[in-house]
Structure 1
Amino acid sequence: MIDAPTGLAQALDPLVTRILAPNPSPFTYTGTETYLVGTTDLAVIDPGPDLPDHLDALMAAIAGRPVRAIMCTHTHRDHSPAAAPLKVATGAPIIGCAPLALADAGPRADAAFDIGYAPDRVLADSETLAGDGWTLEAVATPGHTSNHLCYALRENGALFTGDHVMGWSTTVIAPPDGDMAAFMRSLDRLMQRDQDRIYYPAHGDAVEKPHRFVRGLIGHRKQREGQILRLLGGGPEDIPALVARMYVGLDPRLIGAAGRSVLAHLIDLSDRGLVEAEGETWRIAA
Protein backbone atom coordinates (compact mmCIF):
# COMPACT_ATOMS: atom_id res chain seq x y z
CA MET A 1 0.00 0.00 0.00
CA ILE A 2 1.27 3.48 -0.81
CA ASP A 3 2.83 5.10 2.25
CA ALA A 4 3.25 8.57 0.73
CA PRO A 5 1.11 11.11 2.57
CA THR A 6 -1.09 13.48 0.63
CA GLY A 7 0.79 16.33 -1.04
CA LEU A 8 4.30 14.92 -0.56
CA ALA A 9 6.54 14.90 -3.65
CA GLN A 10 7.99 11.38 -3.64
CA ALA A 11 10.87 10.60 -6.04
CA LEU A 12 10.35 7.14 -7.54
CA ASP A 13 13.42 7.26 -9.79
CA PRO A 14 15.58 10.05 -11.28
CA LEU A 15 12.90 10.94 -13.86
CA VAL A 16 9.66 10.32 -11.95
CA THR A 17 8.09 12.07 -8.96
CA ARG A 18 4.65 11.22 -7.52
CA ILE A 19 2.24 13.49 -5.63
CA LEU A 20 -0.89 11.99 -4.06
CA ALA A 21 -4.07 14.08 -4.26
CA PRO A 22 -6.33 14.39 -1.19
CA ASN A 23 -9.32 12.60 -2.74
CA PRO A 24 -9.44 9.13 -1.15
CA SER A 25 -12.67 7.17 -1.55
CA PRO A 26 -13.94 3.61 -2.00
CA PHE A 27 -13.45 4.23 -5.73
CA THR A 28 -10.09 6.08 -5.81
CA TYR A 29 -8.32 4.13 -3.02
CA THR A 30 -5.85 6.53 -1.34
CA GLY A 31 -6.48 9.17 -4.02
CA THR A 32 -5.31 10.12 -7.50
CA GLU A 33 -1.57 9.98 -8.09
CA THR A 34 -0.11 12.78 -10.21
CA TYR A 35 3.29 12.19 -11.78
CA LEU A 36 5.99 14.70 -12.72
CA VAL A 37 8.33 13.43 -15.44
CA GLY A 38 11.73 15.05 -16.00
CA THR A 39 14.33 17.03 -14.07
CA THR A 40 15.12 20.38 -15.68
CA ASP A 41 11.81 20.59 -17.50
CA LEU A 42 8.68 18.60 -16.82
CA ALA A 43 5.56 16.85 -18.02
CA VAL A 44 2.68 16.52 -15.55
CA ILE A 45 0.67 13.32 -15.97
CA ASP A 46 -2.89 13.15 -14.59
CA PRO A 47 -2.98 16.48 -12.74
CA GLY A 48 -5.97 15.18 -10.80
CA PRO A 49 -8.94 16.92 -9.18
CA ASP A 50 -9.20 20.71 -8.99
CA LEU A 51 -8.46 21.01 -5.27
CA PRO A 52 -6.48 23.99 -3.90
CA ASP A 53 -4.27 21.87 -1.63
CA HIS A 54 -3.35 19.55 -4.50
CA LEU A 55 -2.57 22.43 -6.85
CA ASP A 56 -0.41 24.02 -4.17
CA ALA A 57 1.45 20.72 -3.76
CA LEU A 58 1.99 20.42 -7.51
CA MET A 59 3.32 23.96 -7.78
CA ALA A 60 5.67 23.35 -4.85
CA ALA A 61 6.99 20.19 -6.52
CA ILE A 62 7.35 21.94 -9.88
CA ALA A 63 9.42 24.55 -8.06
CA GLY A 64 9.57 27.05 -10.90
CA ARG A 65 10.81 24.61 -13.54
CA PRO A 66 9.29 24.90 -17.03
CA VAL A 67 6.36 22.57 -17.66
CA ARG A 68 6.35 21.34 -21.25
CA ALA A 69 2.96 19.64 -21.12
CA ILE A 70 0.04 18.75 -18.88
CA MET A 71 -1.03 15.25 -19.93
CA CYS A 72 -4.21 13.38 -18.98
CA THR A 73 -4.78 9.66 -19.45
CA HIS A 74 -8.54 10.22 -19.65
CA THR A 75 -11.17 12.72 -18.58
CA HIS A 76 -12.86 11.39 -15.47
CA ARG A 77 -13.16 14.10 -12.84
CA ASP A 78 -10.55 12.60 -10.54
CA HIS A 79 -7.92 12.89 -13.31
CA SER A 80 -8.23 15.97 -15.52
CA PRO A 81 -9.94 18.99 -13.86
CA ALA A 82 -6.70 20.37 -12.39
CA ALA A 83 -5.30 20.66 -15.92
CA ALA A 84 -7.03 24.00 -16.53
CA PRO A 85 -5.82 25.87 -13.41
CA LEU A 86 -2.37 24.29 -13.76
CA LYS A 87 -2.21 25.62 -17.33
CA VAL A 88 -3.00 29.09 -16.02
CA ALA A 89 -0.35 28.81 -13.31
CA THR A 90 2.44 27.42 -15.51
CA GLY A 91 1.58 28.48 -19.05
CA ALA A 92 1.93 24.86 -20.18
CA PRO A 93 -0.28 23.41 -22.92
CA ILE A 94 -2.67 20.54 -22.24
CA ILE A 95 -1.56 17.68 -24.48
CA GLY A 96 -2.83 14.13 -24.46
CA CYS A 97 -6.17 12.35 -24.56
CA ALA A 98 -9.11 13.55 -26.60
CA PRO A 99 -12.02 15.34 -24.92
CA LEU A 100 -15.02 13.24 -24.02
CA ALA A 101 -18.22 14.50 -22.45
CA LEU A 102 -20.84 11.84 -21.82
CA ALA A 103 -24.08 12.23 -19.92
CA ASP A 104 -24.37 9.15 -17.75
CA ALA A 105 -26.86 9.02 -14.90
CA GLY A 106 -26.26 5.38 -14.02
CA PRO A 107 -24.52 4.19 -10.85
CA ARG A 108 -20.77 4.55 -11.24
CA ALA A 109 -17.73 3.25 -9.43
CA ASP A 110 -15.58 6.06 -10.73
CA ALA A 111 -15.83 9.79 -11.28
CA ALA A 112 -18.09 11.22 -13.94
CA PHE A 113 -16.62 12.91 -16.99
CA ASP A 114 -14.90 16.29 -16.93
CA ILE A 115 -16.93 18.33 -19.40
CA GLY A 116 -14.54 21.29 -19.10
CA TYR A 117 -11.47 19.45 -20.38
CA ALA A 118 -10.06 21.33 -23.38
CA PRO A 119 -6.75 20.01 -24.77
CA ASP A 120 -4.47 22.18 -26.86
CA ARG A 121 -3.29 19.09 -28.72
CA VAL A 122 -4.57 15.52 -28.87
CA LEU A 123 -1.96 12.78 -29.15
CA ALA A 124 -2.58 9.93 -31.57
CA ASP A 125 -1.47 6.40 -30.78
CA SER A 126 2.35 6.10 -30.86
CA GLU A 127 2.83 9.88 -31.06
CA THR A 128 5.57 11.24 -28.83
CA LEU A 129 6.35 14.31 -26.75
CA ALA A 130 9.90 15.07 -25.59
CA GLY A 131 11.70 17.24 -23.09
CA ASP A 132 15.20 17.43 -21.67
CA GLY A 133 16.17 13.79 -21.14
CA TRP A 134 12.68 12.31 -21.48
CA THR A 135 10.39 11.07 -24.22
CA LEU A 136 6.76 10.08 -23.63
CA GLU A 137 4.91 7.94 -26.16
CA ALA A 138 1.11 7.71 -26.26
CA VAL A 139 -0.24 4.16 -26.09
CA ALA A 140 -3.94 4.00 -26.94
CA THR A 141 -5.75 1.78 -24.43
CA PRO A 142 -9.52 2.19 -24.84
CA GLY A 143 -11.85 0.20 -22.63
CA HIS A 144 -12.16 1.94 -19.27
CA THR A 145 -13.04 4.94 -21.42
CA SER A 146 -12.92 5.30 -25.18
CA ASN A 147 -10.34 8.11 -24.94
CA HIS A 148 -7.91 6.41 -22.53
CA LEU A 149 -4.18 6.74 -23.18
CA CYS A 150 -1.21 5.30 -21.34
CA TYR A 151 2.16 7.02 -21.61
CA ALA A 152 5.44 5.13 -22.05
CA LEU A 153 8.62 6.79 -20.80
CA ARG A 154 11.18 5.47 -23.24
CA GLU A 155 14.26 6.35 -21.19
CA ASN A 156 13.47 4.11 -18.21
CA GLY A 157 10.84 1.58 -19.32
CA ALA A 158 8.03 3.03 -17.19
CA LEU A 159 4.41 3.00 -18.37
CA PHE A 160 1.94 5.42 -16.80
CA THR A 161 -1.26 3.37 -16.92
CA GLY A 162 -3.91 5.75 -15.58
CA ASP A 163 -6.98 3.63 -14.81
CA HIS A 164 -6.31 0.99 -17.48
CA VAL A 165 -4.21 -0.98 -15.00
CA MET A 166 -4.48 0.00 -11.34
CA GLY A 167 -2.34 -1.22 -8.48
CA TRP A 168 -5.13 -1.86 -6.01
CA SER A 169 -8.27 -3.06 -7.82
CA THR A 170 -9.67 -4.21 -11.11
CA THR A 171 -10.64 -1.44 -13.53
CA VAL A 172 -14.23 -0.26 -13.81
CA ILE A 173 -15.81 -0.84 -17.22
CA ALA A 174 -19.07 1.12 -17.20
CA PRO A 175 -21.19 1.21 -20.37
CA PRO A 176 -22.13 3.07 -22.48
CA ASP A 177 -18.59 4.44 -22.96
CA GLY A 178 -16.81 1.64 -21.13
CA ASP A 179 -16.28 -1.30 -23.47
CA MET A 180 -15.23 -4.75 -22.22
CA ALA A 181 -14.09 -6.05 -25.61
CA ALA A 182 -11.94 -2.94 -26.15
CA PHE A 183 -10.56 -3.25 -22.62
CA MET A 184 -9.51 -6.86 -23.19
CA ARG A 185 -7.85 -5.94 -26.49
CA SER A 186 -5.97 -3.16 -24.69
CA LEU A 187 -4.77 -5.61 -22.04
CA ASP A 188 -3.61 -7.94 -24.81
CA ARG A 189 -1.72 -5.03 -26.33
CA LEU A 190 0.18 -4.49 -23.09
CA MET A 191 1.06 -8.18 -23.05
CA GLN A 192 2.71 -7.72 -26.45
CA ARG A 193 4.92 -4.91 -25.16
CA ASP A 194 8.28 -6.09 -23.83
CA GLN A 195 9.78 -2.66 -23.15
CA ASP A 196 7.76 -1.85 -20.02
CA ARG A 197 9.60 -2.79 -16.84
CA ILE A 198 7.25 -1.07 -14.38
CA TYR A 199 3.74 0.43 -14.37
CA TYR A 200 2.85 3.61 -12.53
CA PRO A 201 -0.96 3.64 -12.14
CA ALA A 202 -3.12 6.56 -11.09
CA HIS A 203 -4.39 4.61 -8.06
CA GLY A 204 -2.45 2.12 -5.99
CA ASP A 205 1.10 0.84 -5.84
CA ALA A 206 3.50 0.59 -8.74
CA VAL A 207 3.30 -2.71 -10.63
CA GLU A 208 6.79 -4.20 -10.72
CA LYS A 209 6.00 -7.38 -12.69
CA PRO A 210 3.74 -6.02 -15.41
CA HIS A 211 3.15 -9.09 -17.57
CA ARG A 212 2.31 -11.31 -14.62
CA PHE A 213 -0.05 -8.66 -13.28
CA VAL A 214 -1.82 -8.14 -16.61
CA ARG A 215 -2.10 -11.89 -17.09
CA GLY A 216 -3.94 -11.99 -13.77
CA LEU A 217 -6.30 -9.20 -14.86
CA ILE A 218 -7.12 -11.08 -18.07
CA GLY A 219 -7.71 -14.25 -16.08
CA HIS A 220 -10.02 -12.43 -13.67
CA ARG A 221 -12.16 -11.07 -16.50
CA LYS A 222 -12.37 -14.49 -18.14
CA GLN A 223 -13.37 -15.98 -14.79
CA ARG A 224 -16.20 -13.43 -14.45
CA GLU A 225 -17.32 -14.18 -18.00
CA GLY A 226 -17.39 -17.90 -17.28
CA GLN A 227 -19.31 -17.27 -14.06
CA ILE A 228 -22.00 -15.34 -15.95
CA LEU A 229 -22.36 -18.09 -18.54
CA ARG A 230 -22.66 -20.77 -15.85
CA LEU A 231 -25.32 -18.81 -13.97
CA LEU A 232 -27.33 -18.15 -17.13
CA GLY A 233 -27.01 -21.82 -17.95
CA GLY A 234 -29.45 -22.39 -15.09
CA GLY A 235 -32.03 -20.08 -16.64
CA PRO A 236 -32.61 -16.38 -17.42
CA GLU A 237 -31.51 -13.84 -14.82
CA ASP A 238 -31.60 -10.07 -14.50
CA ILE A 239 -28.51 -8.09 -13.58
CA PRO A 240 -29.37 -7.53 -9.88
CA ALA A 241 -29.79 -11.29 -9.45
CA LEU A 242 -26.48 -11.96 -11.17
CA VAL A 243 -24.71 -9.40 -8.99
CA ALA A 244 -26.18 -10.92 -5.80
CA ARG A 245 -24.85 -14.34 -6.75
CA MET A 246 -21.49 -13.21 -8.15
CA TYR A 247 -20.50 -10.65 -5.50
CA VAL A 248 -21.40 -12.23 -2.17
CA GLY A 249 -20.74 -9.85 0.73
CA LEU A 250 -20.10 -6.84 -1.51
CA ASP A 251 -20.06 -3.38 0.10
CA PRO A 252 -23.58 -2.02 -0.62
CA ARG A 253 -22.03 1.18 -1.98
CA LEU A 254 -20.51 -0.85 -4.81
CA ILE A 255 -23.58 -2.84 -5.88
CA GLY A 256 -24.58 -0.40 -8.62
CA ALA A 257 -21.04 -0.34 -9.99
CA ALA A 258 -20.86 -4.14 -9.98
CA GLY A 259 -24.03 -4.12 -12.06
CA ARG A 260 -22.34 -1.90 -14.63
CA SER A 261 -19.43 -4.31 -14.82
CA VAL A 262 -21.76 -7.24 -15.30
CA LEU A 263 -23.58 -5.29 -18.02
CA ALA A 264 -20.26 -4.68 -19.79
CA HIS A 265 -19.61 -8.42 -19.81
CA LEU A 266 -23.13 -9.15 -21.03
CA ILE A 267 -22.83 -6.68 -23.91
CA ASP A 268 -19.55 -8.31 -24.94
CA LEU A 269 -21.05 -11.80 -24.69
CA SER A 270 -24.08 -10.67 -26.68
CA ASP A 271 -21.88 -9.21 -29.42
CA ARG A 272 -20.18 -12.61 -29.64
CA GLY A 273 -23.53 -14.39 -29.95
CA LEU A 274 -23.30 -16.19 -26.61
CA VAL A 275 -26.12 -14.48 -24.68
CA GLU A 276 -29.18 -12.41 -25.53
CA ALA A 277 -31.42 -9.96 -23.73
CA GLU A 278 -35.10 -10.61 -23.14
CA GLY A 279 -36.61 -7.51 -21.55
CA GLU A 280 -34.76 -6.94 -18.27
CA THR A 281 -33.35 -10.48 -18.20
CA TRP A 282 -30.51 -12.18 -19.99
CA ARG A 283 -30.26 -15.78 -21.17
CA ILE A 284 -27.99 -18.08 -23.11
CA ALA A 285 -28.47 -17.36 -26.82
CA ALA A 286 -30.75 -19.78 -28.63
Structure 2
Amino acid sequence: MQAGVAEQVAKGIRRILAPNPSAMTGPGTNTYILGHGAGVIVVDPGPAEEQHLAAILATLDPSERVTAILVTHAHKDHSAAAPRLSALTAAPVFAFGDALAGRSPLMQRLADSGFVGGGEGVDLSFRPDRQLTDGEGLICGDGLLRVIHTPGHMGGHICLGFGDVLLSGDHAMGWASSLISPPDGDMAAYMASLDRLLTRRWSLMLPGHGPAVTEVAARLQALSDHRRAREAEVMAVLRAAPATPADLTRRIYHDIPAGLHAAATRNVLAHLIDLAARNAVICRDLPGPDTIFTRSDPL
Protein backbone atom coordinates (compact mmCIF):
# COMPACT_ATOMS: atom_id res chain seq x y z
CA MET A 1 0.00 0.00 0.00
CA GLN A 2 1.37 3.37 -1.05
CA ALA A 3 -0.25 6.71 -0.28
CA GLY A 4 -1.84 8.41 -3.28
CA VAL A 5 -1.63 5.37 -5.57
CA ALA A 6 -4.94 3.87 -6.72
CA GLU A 7 -5.21 0.07 -6.50
CA GLN A 8 -7.92 -2.21 -7.85
CA VAL A 9 -8.81 -4.29 -4.77
CA ALA A 10 -11.99 -5.99 -6.03
CA LYS A 11 -14.23 -5.91 -9.07
CA GLY A 12 -15.53 -2.36 -9.37
CA ILE A 13 -13.61 -1.12 -6.30
CA ARG A 14 -10.49 1.04 -6.23
CA ARG A 15 -8.61 2.00 -3.05
CA ILE A 16 -6.52 5.11 -2.41
CA LEU A 17 -4.47 5.37 0.78
CA ALA A 18 -4.38 8.76 2.51
CA PRO A 19 -1.02 10.11 3.75
CA ASN A 20 -1.97 10.05 7.45
CA PRO A 21 -0.17 7.10 9.07
CA SER A 22 -0.17 6.93 12.87
CA ALA A 23 -0.47 4.55 15.79
CA MET A 24 -4.26 4.90 15.55
CA THR A 25 -4.67 4.84 11.75
CA GLY A 26 -2.03 2.26 10.82
CA PRO A 27 -0.74 2.98 7.30
CA GLY A 28 -3.44 5.64 6.86
CA THR A 29 -7.12 5.99 5.96
CA ASN A 30 -8.45 4.00 3.02
CA THR A 31 -10.67 5.83 0.55
CA TYR A 32 -12.66 3.60 -1.81
CA ILE A 33 -14.09 4.46 -5.23
CA LEU A 34 -16.95 2.18 -6.21
CA GLY A 35 -18.10 1.69 -9.78
CA HIS A 36 -16.91 3.06 -13.11
CA GLY A 37 -18.29 5.40 -15.71
CA ALA A 38 -20.98 8.03 -15.39
CA GLY A 39 -21.77 7.44 -11.73
CA VAL A 40 -19.22 6.45 -9.09
CA ILE A 41 -19.44 6.56 -5.29
CA VAL A 42 -16.58 7.66 -3.04
CA VAL A 43 -16.52 6.03 0.41
CA ASP A 44 -14.65 7.80 3.23
CA PRO A 45 -12.87 10.68 1.47
CA GLY A 46 -10.50 10.86 4.43
CA PRO A 47 -8.70 13.72 6.19
CA ALA A 48 -8.69 17.29 4.93
CA GLU A 49 -5.49 16.86 2.94
CA GLU A 50 -5.30 18.58 -0.45
CA GLN A 51 -2.75 15.98 -1.56
CA HIS A 52 -5.25 13.19 -0.91
CA LEU A 53 -8.12 15.04 -2.57
CA ALA A 54 -5.95 15.53 -5.64
CA ALA A 55 -5.17 11.80 -5.70
CA ILE A 56 -8.89 10.93 -5.54
CA LEU A 57 -9.72 13.23 -8.44
CA ALA A 58 -6.71 12.06 -10.46
CA THR A 59 -7.91 8.47 -10.14
CA LEU A 60 -11.13 9.26 -11.98
CA ASP A 61 -11.24 8.97 -15.75
CA PRO A 62 -12.38 12.11 -17.60
CA SER A 63 -15.71 10.42 -18.35
CA GLU A 64 -16.37 9.51 -14.71
CA ARG A 65 -18.58 11.55 -12.40
CA VAL A 66 -18.92 11.25 -8.64
CA THR A 67 -22.62 10.96 -7.82
CA ALA A 68 -22.36 10.38 -4.05
CA ILE A 69 -19.86 10.63 -1.20
CA LEU A 70 -20.48 8.16 1.63
CA VAL A 71 -18.98 8.54 5.09
CA THR A 72 -18.92 5.52 7.40
CA HIS A 73 -18.57 7.64 10.55
CA ALA A 74 -17.73 11.16 11.66
CA HIS A 75 -14.11 10.85 12.72
CA LYS A 76 -11.95 13.48 11.07
CA ASP A 77 -9.67 10.96 9.40
CA HIS A 78 -12.70 9.67 7.46
CA SER A 79 -15.05 12.65 7.11
CA ALA A 80 -13.08 15.90 7.11
CA ALA A 81 -12.47 15.92 3.33
CA ALA A 82 -16.14 15.37 2.51
CA PRO A 83 -17.21 19.05 2.26
CA ARG A 84 -14.28 19.95 0.00
CA LEU A 85 -14.76 16.90 -2.25
CA SER A 86 -18.46 17.69 -2.45
CA ALA A 87 -17.70 21.25 -3.51
CA LEU A 88 -15.27 20.04 -6.18
CA THR A 89 -17.57 17.37 -7.62
CA ALA A 90 -21.08 18.68 -6.81
CA ALA A 91 -21.81 15.27 -5.27
CA PRO A 92 -23.97 15.09 -2.12
CA VAL A 93 -22.60 13.65 1.13
CA PHE A 94 -24.45 10.67 2.62
CA ALA A 95 -24.06 9.25 6.15
CA PHE A 96 -26.15 7.81 8.96
CA GLY A 97 -26.06 11.21 10.62
CA ASP A 98 -23.78 13.68 12.36
CA ALA A 99 -21.16 12.83 14.97
CA LEU A 100 -23.78 12.36 17.72
CA ALA A 101 -26.22 10.24 15.73
CA GLY A 102 -27.12 6.70 16.75
CA ARG A 103 -26.13 6.85 20.40
CA SER A 104 -27.86 4.39 22.69
CA PRO A 105 -29.98 5.81 25.56
CA LEU A 106 -27.25 4.78 28.01
CA MET A 107 -24.50 6.59 26.09
CA GLN A 108 -26.73 9.64 25.70
CA ARG A 109 -27.38 9.71 29.45
CA LEU A 110 -23.63 9.54 30.08
CA ALA A 111 -23.04 12.40 27.64
CA ASP A 112 -25.82 14.49 29.19
CA SER A 113 -24.29 13.97 32.64
CA GLY A 114 -21.00 15.49 31.50
CA PHE A 115 -19.10 12.37 30.48
CA VAL A 116 -16.77 13.11 27.57
CA GLY A 117 -15.02 10.88 25.07
CA GLY A 118 -11.35 10.54 24.32
CA GLY A 119 -9.03 9.15 21.71
CA GLU A 120 -9.82 9.94 18.10
CA GLY A 121 -10.82 13.31 16.63
CA VAL A 122 -14.61 13.54 16.48
CA ASP A 123 -15.77 15.70 13.58
CA LEU A 124 -18.42 17.78 15.35
CA SER A 125 -18.83 20.00 12.28
CA PHE A 126 -19.83 17.09 10.03
CA ARG A 127 -23.32 17.36 8.52
CA PRO A 128 -24.39 15.00 5.70
CA ASP A 129 -26.63 16.26 2.94
CA ARG A 130 -28.79 13.17 3.36
CA GLN A 131 -29.11 10.66 6.18
CA LEU A 132 -28.98 6.99 5.32
CA THR A 133 -31.12 4.32 6.97
CA ASP A 134 -30.25 0.78 7.98
CA GLY A 135 -30.89 -1.63 5.10
CA GLU A 136 -31.14 1.09 2.48
CA GLY A 137 -29.82 0.22 -0.97
CA LEU A 138 -27.98 2.53 -3.34
CA ILE A 139 -27.44 1.75 -7.01
CA CYS A 140 -23.77 1.74 -7.93
CA GLY A 141 -23.00 0.79 -11.53
CA ASP A 142 -24.35 -2.70 -12.09
CA GLY A 143 -24.45 -3.46 -8.38
CA LEU A 144 -26.32 -2.53 -5.21
CA LEU A 145 -24.61 -0.96 -2.21
CA ARG A 146 -26.40 -1.95 1.01
CA VAL A 147 -26.21 0.16 4.19
CA ILE A 148 -25.64 -1.77 7.43
CA HIS A 149 -25.92 0.28 10.63
CA THR A 150 -23.14 -1.00 12.91
CA PRO A 151 -22.95 1.13 16.06
CA GLY A 152 -20.07 0.45 18.40
CA HIS A 153 -17.00 2.40 17.29
CA MET A 154 -19.43 5.31 16.97
CA GLY A 155 -23.20 5.41 17.32
CA GLY A 156 -23.69 6.39 13.69
CA HIS A 157 -21.14 4.02 12.20
CA ILE A 158 -22.18 2.14 9.07
CA CYS A 159 -20.67 -0.71 7.12
CA LEU A 160 -21.49 -1.25 3.46
CA GLY A 161 -22.23 -4.46 1.61
CA PHE A 162 -21.34 -4.44 -2.09
CA GLY A 163 -22.41 -7.89 -3.19
CA ASP A 164 -20.38 -10.22 -0.99
CA VAL A 165 -17.71 -7.58 -0.29
CA LEU A 166 -17.88 -5.88 3.11
CA LEU A 167 -16.62 -2.31 3.45
CA SER A 168 -16.19 -2.33 7.21
CA GLY A 169 -15.00 1.19 8.04
CA ASP A 170 -13.45 1.16 11.50
CA HIS A 171 -15.75 -1.51 12.91
CA ALA A 172 -13.50 -4.37 11.85
CA MET A 173 -9.90 -4.31 10.62
CA GLY A 174 -7.23 -6.89 10.03
CA TRP A 175 -4.25 -5.13 11.60
CA ALA A 176 -5.80 -4.07 14.94
CA SER A 177 -8.96 -4.01 17.00
CA SER A 178 -11.18 -0.92 17.04
CA LEU A 179 -11.16 1.81 19.64
CA ILE A 180 -14.40 1.89 21.66
CA SER A 181 -14.40 5.20 23.52
CA PRO A 182 -17.64 6.06 25.40
CA PRO A 183 -19.94 7.88 25.00
CA ASP A 184 -19.16 7.96 21.26
CA GLY A 185 -18.25 4.27 21.41
CA ASP A 186 -20.46 1.59 22.95
CA MET A 187 -19.15 -1.90 23.76
CA ALA A 188 -22.55 -3.58 23.94
CA ALA A 189 -23.51 -2.15 20.55
CA TYR A 190 -20.12 -3.08 19.11
CA MET A 191 -20.50 -6.72 20.07
CA ALA A 192 -24.06 -6.85 18.72
CA SER A 193 -22.89 -5.33 15.43
CA LEU A 194 -20.10 -7.93 15.12
CA ASP A 195 -22.68 -10.68 15.65
CA ARG A 196 -24.84 -9.14 12.94
CA LEU A 197 -21.99 -9.05 10.42
CA LEU A 198 -21.24 -12.69 11.20
CA THR A 199 -24.69 -13.71 9.94
CA ARG A 200 -23.62 -12.92 6.36
CA ARG A 201 -21.09 -14.70 4.14
CA TRP A 202 -18.45 -12.30 2.90
CA SER A 203 -15.74 -13.11 0.37
CA LEU A 204 -13.65 -10.02 1.17
CA MET A 205 -13.48 -7.30 3.82
CA LEU A 206 -12.16 -3.84 2.94
CA PRO A 207 -11.52 -1.91 6.17
CA GLY A 208 -11.04 1.78 6.80
CA HIS A 209 -7.40 1.16 7.69
CA GLY A 210 -4.96 -1.54 6.66
CA PRO A 211 -5.03 -4.22 3.95
CA ALA A 212 -7.96 -6.26 2.69
CA VAL A 213 -9.03 -9.32 4.70
CA THR A 214 -9.87 -12.53 2.82
CA GLU A 215 -10.83 -14.78 5.75
CA VAL A 216 -13.65 -12.52 6.82
CA ALA A 217 -15.70 -14.79 9.08
CA ALA A 218 -12.58 -15.93 10.92
CA ARG A 219 -11.46 -12.33 11.46
CA LEU A 220 -14.87 -11.16 12.68
CA GLN A 221 -15.04 -14.10 15.07
CA ALA A 222 -11.50 -13.41 16.29
CA LEU A 223 -12.43 -9.81 17.07
CA SER A 224 -15.46 -10.98 19.03
CA ASP A 225 -13.42 -13.58 20.91
CA HIS A 226 -10.76 -10.97 21.68
CA ARG A 227 -13.30 -8.66 23.30
CA ARG A 228 -14.83 -11.47 25.35
CA ALA A 229 -11.34 -12.47 26.51
CA ARG A 230 -10.63 -8.86 27.57
CA GLU A 231 -13.89 -8.80 29.52
CA ALA A 232 -12.88 -12.00 31.29
CA GLU A 233 -9.49 -10.47 32.14
CA VAL A 234 -11.20 -7.39 33.60
CA MET A 235 -13.43 -9.54 35.77
CA ALA A 236 -10.51 -11.70 36.87
CA VAL A 237 -8.45 -8.70 38.01
CA LEU A 238 -11.45 -7.21 39.83
CA ARG A 239 -11.87 -10.47 41.73
CA ALA A 240 -8.69 -9.63 43.63
CA ALA A 241 -9.63 -6.04 44.50
CA PRO A 242 -11.56 -3.01 43.21
CA ALA A 243 -9.67 -1.03 40.58
CA THR A 244 -9.86 1.93 38.23
CA PRO A 245 -9.79 1.56 34.42
CA ALA A 246 -6.27 2.98 34.43
CA ASP A 247 -5.17 0.38 37.00
CA LEU A 248 -6.78 -2.41 34.99
CA THR A 249 -5.08 -1.25 31.79
CA ARG A 250 -1.65 -1.37 33.41
CA ARG A 251 -2.32 -4.89 34.68
CA ILE A 252 -3.90 -6.30 31.50
CA TYR A 253 -2.08 -4.62 28.61
CA HIS A 254 1.52 -5.79 28.99
CA ASP A 255 2.70 -5.66 25.39
CA ILE A 256 1.63 -2.30 23.95
CA PRO A 257 3.62 0.95 23.70
CA ALA A 258 3.02 3.50 26.45
CA GLY A 259 1.59 5.87 23.84
CA LEU A 260 -1.37 3.54 23.34
CA HIS A 261 -2.26 3.19 27.02
CA ALA A 262 -4.77 6.06 26.89
CA ALA A 263 -6.69 4.37 24.06
CA ALA A 264 -6.50 1.01 25.85
CA THR A 265 -7.92 2.64 28.98
CA ARG A 266 -10.90 3.86 26.95
CA ASN A 267 -11.51 0.29 25.76
CA VAL A 268 -11.34 -1.01 29.34
CA LEU A 269 -13.74 1.73 30.41
CA ALA A 270 -16.14 0.70 27.63
CA HIS A 271 -16.06 -2.87 28.95
CA LEU A 272 -16.75 -1.65 32.49
CA ILE A 273 -19.70 0.50 31.44
CA ASP A 274 -21.16 -2.49 29.62
CA LEU A 275 -20.54 -4.73 32.65
CA ALA A 276 -22.17 -2.15 34.94
CA ALA A 277 -25.25 -2.05 32.69
CA ARG A 278 -25.44 -5.84 33.09
CA ASN A 279 -25.01 -5.53 36.90
CA ALA A 280 -21.74 -7.46 36.85
CA VAL A 281 -19.77 -4.53 38.31
CA ILE A 282 -20.68 -1.42 40.27
CA CYS A 283 -19.24 2.07 40.74
CA ARG A 284 -20.36 4.96 42.92
CA ASP A 285 -19.19 7.85 40.77
CA LEU A 286 -19.62 8.89 37.16
CA PRO A 287 -17.57 6.44 35.04
CA GLY A 288 -14.13 7.71 34.13
CA PRO A 289 -10.47 6.61 33.94
CA ASP A 290 -10.06 7.12 37.71
CA THR A 291 -13.43 5.73 38.85
CA ILE A 292 -13.19 2.73 41.15
CA PHE A 293 -15.13 -0.32 39.95
CA THR A 294 -16.02 -3.34 42.07
CA ARG A 295 -17.37 -6.74 41.12
CA SER A 296 -20.96 -7.31 42.14
CA ASP A 297 -19.91 -10.79 43.29
CA PRO A 298 -16.47 -10.16 44.89
CA LEU A 299 -16.27 -13.59 46.55
Q: Normalization by structure 2: what TM-score? A: 0.89
Residues 206-225 of structure 1 show CA distances to partners (whole Å, capped at 9, x for unaligned) of: 11111111111111001000
Which range moves more in the overlay, 266-275 or 58-67?
58-67
Q: Out of 16, 20, 23, which is 1:19 matched to?
A: 16
Q: What residue in structure 2 maps to residue 149 of structure 1?
A: 158
Which residues of 2 match residues 1-286 of structure 1 at below 5 A?
Answer: 4-40=1-37, 41-64=39-62, 65-101=64-100, 106-108=117-119, 110=120, 112-154=121-163, 157-194=164-201, 196-279=202-285, 280-286=291-297
Q: Is the 8 A contact 1:129 1:135 kept in 2?
A: yes
Rounded to whole Å, the distance in 2 between the matches of 1:193 and 1:129 is 19
Q: Is the 8 A contact 1:37 1:134 kept in 2?
A: no
Note the C-alpha offset of 1:235: 1.2
Q: Is the 8 A contact 1:23 1:32 kept in 2?
A: yes
Per the alignment, in what secondary structure is the counterpart of residue 25 of structure 2? coil
Rounded to whole Å, the distance in 2 between the matches of 1:104 and 1:197 is 40
Shift of the 106–14 alpha-carbon distance from structure 1 to 2, 3 Å rule, reads: closer
Q: Is the 8 A contact 2:116 2:182 kept in 1?
A: no
Q: Is the 8 A contact 2:151 2:189 kept in 1?
A: yes
Shift of the 152–106 alpha-carbon distance from structure 1 to 2, 3 Å rule, reads: closer
Note the C-alpha offset of 1:105: 5.8
Q: Is the 8 A contact 1:150 1:160 kept in 2?
A: yes
Find runs of 4+ consecutive structure 1 residues off by over 6 angstroms: none
Note the C-alpha offset of 1:118: 1.9
Rounded to whole Å, the distance in 1 between the matches of 2:234 and 2:48 is 39
Rounded to whole Å, the distance in 1 between the matches of 2:258 and 2:9 is 36
Amino acid at match of 2:99: L
Rounded to whole Å, the distance in 2 between the matches of 1:97 and 1:150 is 10
Note the C-alpha offset of 1:106: 5.0
Rounded to whole Å, the distance in 2 between the matches of 1:273 and 1:19 is 45
Identity %: 39
Shift of the 104–69 alpha-carbon distance from structure 1 to 2, 3 Å rule, reads: farther
Rounded to whole Å, the distance in 2 between the matches of 1:248 and 1:139 is 35
Q: How many residues align?
A: 278
Q: Is the 8 A contact 1:24 1:31 kept in 2?
A: yes
Per the alignment, in what secondary structure is the counterpart of residue 281 of structure 1? coil
Gaps of 5+ in 2: 101-110, 286-290
RMSD: 1.5
Per the alignment, in what secondary structure is the counterpart of residue 30 of structure 1? coil
Q: Is the 8 A contact 1:21 1:49 kept in 2?
A: yes
Q: Is the 8 A contact 1:161 1:202 kept in 2?
A: yes
Note the C-alpha offset of 1:256: 1.1
Note the C-alpha offset of 1:283: 0.9
Q: Is the 8 A contact 2:116 2:183 kept in 1?
A: no
